[in-house]
Amino acid sequence: MTAHTILALDLGTTTGWALRAPEGQIAHGFVSFKSQRFEGGGMRYLKFRRWLTDLKATVAAPQGIGAVYFEEVRRHMGVDAAHVYGGLLATLSAWCEHHEIPYQGVPVGTIKKHATGKGNAGKDEMIAAMRARGHAVSDDNEADALAILHWAIDTQ
């Protein structure tokens, strides 16, 4: 199998992202999709789709993004978080289908166990685990995206 670019996402109002190029370089960060005052509810998802398209445009052709992995959340702390996650997931899956990019959800416990050895690791433990791998991480969403990326690199 030839190496390809992998995108890993921790979906949420603040979305963590990590991208590994075929040559092995890793870029990562986080981006806010918080709704602005006087915006309709769908603007968050249009901004997310535009961000994905802009990110895809930065990835060198001909390979482009070869796979997308995301944190598969089955339980949310609140209704609003569940609605945001569902909307982002629907937008992501439709975008991947449109661009013919394979995508896969990874259960939260699987990501945490792979990163820390504990399936119920907290935010600080996830950040510490990614720092231990040499990543300058300041946000738990970014740390989760990196953990998803490392899971994908190590297991897929």
DSSP reduced 3-state for 144: helix
DSSP run (H or E) holding 151: helix 140-155
Lookup result for tokens 């998802």: 45
62 band by pLDDT with thresholds 50, 70 and 90 = low
* Residues 105 and 85: beta-carbon distance below 8 Å: no
pLDDT over 60 at 148, yes or no? yes
Name the domain count of the chain.
Answer: 1
Q: According to the model, what pLDDT value does residue 8 have?
A: 98
Token readout for 101 is: 């990019």
Per-residue pLDDT at 147:
98
Report residue 66's pLDDT band, with 50, 70 and 90 as the boundaries.
Answer: very high
The pLDDT, as a whole number, for residue 151 is 98
Segments forming the whole domain that contains residue 130? 5-155
Sequence-separated contacts (24+) of 125-133 with Cβ below 8 Å: none
| CATH number of the domain encompassing residue 94 | 3.30.420.10
Q: How many helices (H) and strands (E) does the chain have?
A: 5, 5
Query: What is the C-alpha to C-alpha distance for residues 146 and 114, in angstroms, rounded to an integer?
Result: 11
Local confidence band at 59 (pLDDT 50, 70, 90 cut-offs): confident
Q: How far apart are CA 109 and CA 83, in angstroms?
A: 21
Mean predicted lDDT score pLDDT of the chain: 93
Is residue 103 within 8 Å of 90, Cβ to Cβ? no
Residue 1 above 50 pLDDT? no
| C-alpha separations of 80 from 12, 23, 57, 83 in Å | 11, 39, 31, 5
Q: What's the confidence (pLDDT) of residue 61? A: 63
pLDDT digits (tens, 9 = 90+) for 89-138: 999 999 999 999 999 999 999 999 999 999 999 999 999 999 999 999 98
Helix axes 79-98, 43-58, angle to 10 degrees: 40
